[in-house]
Structure 1
């Protein structure tokens, strides 16, 4: 805009504000967040208009689902759905990845936290961290276990722990069993090096004493390693400022509903942050595929339960079962299902992705354990038919920077979460 165009801009702003509020809000909803941010400085009327949901995104962030489509690195784009806005956004990362990822590399999206995204390179078997604030890519050297392909990374057993926004530091941690011993592997961007630590038993665990207290998720990252029969293995890794070695917990199914929860038939267990969602399905049909000439079961989700670890970390305890009306909102037919889970601020968020005849469907369920309330967040489609997905994650701790985000013209949803 030229220096002498201030009057014209003011006149345009006034004319825009004369439009019906519903139409004006729909126009604003199609803008990128940087443009929305600039709109707030144009006039008080526009500032008031966008101070609702969009202002909450800019200040509170909300929760996000991220999808990464398998495509050449030069075209790499993350798609993020925000529950406060009820719509999808595009996060172009190709330019940031270019210096660190060669053309033709097979990328897989692993995690998001704060200012950072982490990708795994299947060809070179290395990790790359992308900083949204600085626009820089950071290569992570091979871990003590050696180069790892994308299939080696188990999402419930890893965590990206970003420092405060603007600090340009992060930790990437994962836990695995080595010769039946739980070991935590941690990369620190400040030192540029890995370290490994064998997890120790919690204090007083043998006597089941009160000292064996499960840490809160804001003090420790709870990493799920293995699940065999009635017993699981979970490692607690301290977050920034929390000292001490990693601690191993072995919760078991022991209380009411334990025997049924331990069953695996027609059940999918989704783990994360010391919690577990048990998704029960029922077979509704059997169909023959056209390509591989074999029959597949078509199923429907019929029940969802959320379980958490007891105060001493020794048991799985059922927190709640989703009401029928909530399950009915998401019970679409599927042949393949996968999911991820995050717990933050006493809210458990379960994101489930299912496929039926080449069409992917996203289900987002929230359980507020403090209020005892369930909700289903409607997620509009984003051209998922034939989607060759290369990673999914859910986070409530994104360091949102408007300059890194462009908007999608895909459908909006009026859904809200807690």
Structure 2
């Protein structure tokens, strides 16, 4: 039996990952801004032993955006609100390196890390949508690979600022009037191509040293970035063989960067369709599919291609050759769509409808899905999973009440927490301060 245990995070994604999840009777229609609803999801995940909640984000919308993206909470504000009303679960939020200042990001995340006693994490994104540039005064949207060059400097600055103080820098010595051991305060003086930041940061370190770094880039440039800097990576997980290849690639690149591959965790997306019987599974799948019509599906598909207008094409002709459209946005996603459409001879209609509710590999009865999770884990396709159901409702209930107990009974899951910080939950080491000669941990 495996000595390791499966690990789970959960997305706080409004009513769910489906574009029209808000239409379902299983969730409140204002779920994207309903704090009580989101708090309930987080608290139930905490009771079930999930390592973290994750809040995604985007910086550009228009009238054809996913409906519940039109009005949703800013991630760090939401996580700050969750910090005092949760006790164990990690708090992970998305921030763009293309449209934020590293000094501000460092302060914000350091504050959440301190408020939560070492439970903060940062999902580093480069903002794929070109329209994001229209909402900021930074000029044109940077090209795909340039965005990762900016992201590299941005993260170097943020992590450098988080090391402004060694762990025991603040002495609070009233007798001698010394608030701080100044020898343990450090100025960054970063001079890069994109950022010039002096420091130090006016924030000390937390119980886990630094917030956990998450990343989801699947392009070669994005994966190389993640292998160098990330503590955890979100992947698509569309099938097990592809997941294994992706997992092996990430771990190998981590080794090439001089890292311990066990210190970087891989979390495929988990959007299960589960029920007691196969017949009930199929009914559930059809009900989710029925939430979307073809016009809405085309709009959803267009998001990956900078909101390209797909209504101009024949729905029942082969999926069109789009050239470079989308290459500066969701590059890995649009490449995967093109490959799948060509290999399976899919029409535009089939691709669009499939994208709104992709049939997850984890579709089946409770026992079937539990065994598949174990199989992926044992075969080296995942260290854990990021749970993001199409709709938060019965599938969430069933996963917590039916699937997790099977995993626990088989020895692959534990609802208890092994420590107090997010790093401890995930089994990754404390982040040492670069200036410390000898860690006190």
In terms of fraction of residues, the more helix-rich structure is 2
In terms of fraction of residues, the more strand-rich structure is 1
Q: Which has the higher contact order (CA 8 A, sep 6+)?
A: 2
Please report the TM-score for the alignment, with normalisation by the length of structure 1: 0.29
